Chains A and B, each alone.
Chain A
């Protein structure tokens, strides 16, 4: 009986193996999985061994003596931040907002993808950031954001995934992959680094709900001047919702079905499918930035940026965006946890959008025209005691009068006072009020309470 059973099993196994072989990709996957499992087991074993060795050392030796320094080799982990010896830093930043607005369609009012998107509670983003040294020549970073849309659907965005050089000569640094274009101060920042609950109106209008980011490459040069000067040139693909003023196609980054037949929100016409005909159809983003210490306790950072690329209103139309930004900060030498401080920040942006002759709503022909938009935000932050920051932001955005008018081009003013409390660097509670005035629509009031926490090893932010 036993023999009979084992025979059956053997035959069955043979058949199974045969059928697996017949479907090669599945077998390959299985094999990969197995080898991964093996690797995991090996790693776990290694960890256990190391821990045992550590425990033994602690038990046997009374005076802790640090190991003598050993030469670094490419296979050693480089701990960039509070991670201990690991090949990669992992962090998760989650952001939730709770509040109310007099405008029932909160998405229409706020618009940016990491803003509060409905009355009541919204999860405006949970961002997983993985980063570390790839090898002695590169560092790598991936930021994956999860957003809960008002319908309850979870949307996954690959915000950034790039490789950056660490060892180029002549003060050069290159970056390759998907990343935020270094235009101005706020566009390259991840939402948790913002000083306000929401994205600035003018940035949302010109760069779309997710900011200006796309697959591309960037070269930067640190000038050998006595003060900080950096020159950057980014080159990106110019299509998709994350290049809204360019070959943006449908206005939304996630292929929303909702605005299918209303044409582009920017120029009103049906977006023209333009293929990449050559380098002239790429998106170019140059930036020059400098910083000076005014006194020991005050410094200022100035920048000028531009973005040039084709747009989707016609086959040969282009867009130019220009921006100036400034940041000034005062902080005394004996600050406690970085407080007190006063920081002022502002950006002004202009867009010059060459709209070709185009069809609006399948009936009306809009003439070729230039759509000019501009706007600014200016914000002041006052860290008045450790952990507490009072903020005030003023914004204005407008567009010139042309045959196509949209909500994204009319006058808008917004005033936002807020108060932020940081119990530690890893948690944040923020209360913000927005006074909104939209031309033809009128006044709106919103109050948002934002909560944020960070787990794991999060890299320090830029100044």
Chain B
């Protein structure tokens, strides 16, 4: 028994002695960026699947095994993962990714955050994130800040490969710039257009491309819609001339379709994260596809 335990321990030490950096990212976009920056120097595991709502990722034991072996953990932050990541981390027993350790990156650090709640917090207002709106990856300019942070973190955990990471970062930033320019051009005709979103998650996207969000299908973040709220929303959409309802794939589409039909608008289900749509396997291509999806839904 003792020998078995000892050999198992030795095995575990041997396994952690990888040449590649084991990167674990909570979200597909963060994972895709790490892959683009790290290239063949990194092994990237993504905890959430592309069509999975990042608020409600299942804390499967397989995820804690990945966290246990991570050299670097990239999380979105702003409490987006609060419902499932803390319990996994507690069981993962990995000192390299402790809060404040070099192997822990909270991608929201350094981001200018929108929708920061003011005054006392109450859950009567729905699922309000106390640190502000965590869905900042919809904005490619903020995405560039995240890419920079990821490159810095990679250099921190694997200084020997710094040159490769710098090159990867430069390539990725260039591609994001291109994608953003293309998206801006594609959405230019719709500047100032009024839209309705399902969840209060598209604030950053709307701000960047100058779309005006006049309402949400959910009356309050995370609270399912009621008939009274939908009736009011439909009226508002008619009076303010909303032509598009935007939503992520993990929300039910029926309500959006109903509201859109009543008010004469279209529904656009956005590819929410890298890899959700085969045409957008990474972050820059996602930005472009999102712009394309919105433009196509505009009348």
Contacts and interface: CB of A to CB of B under 8 A. Distances in A.
Interface in A279-320: 291-293, 296, 299, 301
A58 B116 CA distance: 11
B111 interface: yes
Contacts of B85: 460
B210 to A, nearest CB: 17
A150 interface: no
B174 interface: no
Contacts of A227: 61-62, 65
Contacts of A461: 87
Interface string B88-118: 0011110100111100001011111110101
A380 interface: no
Nearest to B48: A333
A222 to B, nearest CB: 6
Interface in B38-56: 49-53, 55-56
Contacts of B90: 139, 164, 166
A331 interface: yes
B223 interface: yes
Contact of A78 (B12, B99, B121, B249): B99
Main secondary structure of the interface of B (DSSP, over half): loop
A333 B68 contact: no
Contacts of A335: 52-53, 56, 250
Contacts of A82: 79, 82, 130
A168 B53 CA distance: 33
A224 B8 contact: yes
A61 B12 CA distance: 51
B82 A81 contact: yes
B65 A228 contact: yes
A386 interface: yes
Interface residues of A, number: 58
A173 interface: yes
B190 interface: no
Contact of A337 (B53, B100, B106, B109): B53
A440 interface: no
Interface residues of B, number: 57
B95 A167 contact: yes
Contacts of B56: 335, 337-338
A212 to B, nearest CB: 21
Interface in A64-92: 64-66, 68-69, 71-73, 76, 78, 80-82, 84
B87 A333 contact: no
B52 A223 contact: no
A172 B93 contact: yes
B291 interface: no
Contacts of B252: 336, 386
A392 interface: no
A338 B83 CA distance: 11
Contacts of B130: 82, 84
Contacts of A73: 100
B58 A463 contact: yes
Contact of A424 (B82, B98, B108, B222): B222
A72 B100 CA distance: 5
Contacts of A424: 123, 127, 222-223
Given A223-B8, A337-B53, A460-B87, A66 B68 contact: no
A6 to B, nearest CB: 47
Nearest to B9: A170
Contacts of B79: 82
B60 A68 contact: no
A275 interface: no
B93 A222 contact: yes
Given A64-B112, A69-B110, A426-B123, A338 B58 contact: yes
Contacts of A329: 58
A301 B61 CA distance: 8
Residue in A84, A173, A337 with the greatest tally of chain B CB atoms within 10 Å: A337
Interface string A146-175: 000000000000000000101111111100
A81 B8 contact: no
Interface in A151-205: 164, 166-173
A291 B86 contact: no
B151 interface: no
Given A81-B86, A296-B49, A66 B65 contact: no
Nearest to B101: A72
Given A68-B110, A82-B79, A299 B60 contact: yes
A167 B99 CA distance: 12
Interface string B232-262: 0000000000000000011110000000000
A66 B250 contact: no
A58 to B, nearest CB: 8
A408 interface: no
Interface of B: 8-9, 11-12, 15, 49-53, 55-56, 58-62, 64-65, 68, 79, 82-87, 90-93, 95, 98-101, 106, 108-114, 116, 118, 121, 123, 127, 130, 222-224, 249-252
Given A82-B130, A336-B252, 5 more contacts: A78-B99, A84-B130, A164-B90, A291-B61, A335-B56
21 contacts: A64-B112, A65-B112, A66-B109, A69-B110, A72-B99, A78-B99, A82-B79, A82-B130, A164-B90, A170-B9, A173-B93, A222-B65, A291-B60, A291-B62, A333-B49, A333-B50, A335-B53, A336-B252, A338-B58, A387-B224, A459-B86
Closest 3 CB pairs of A and B: A72-B100, A228-B61, A224-B12
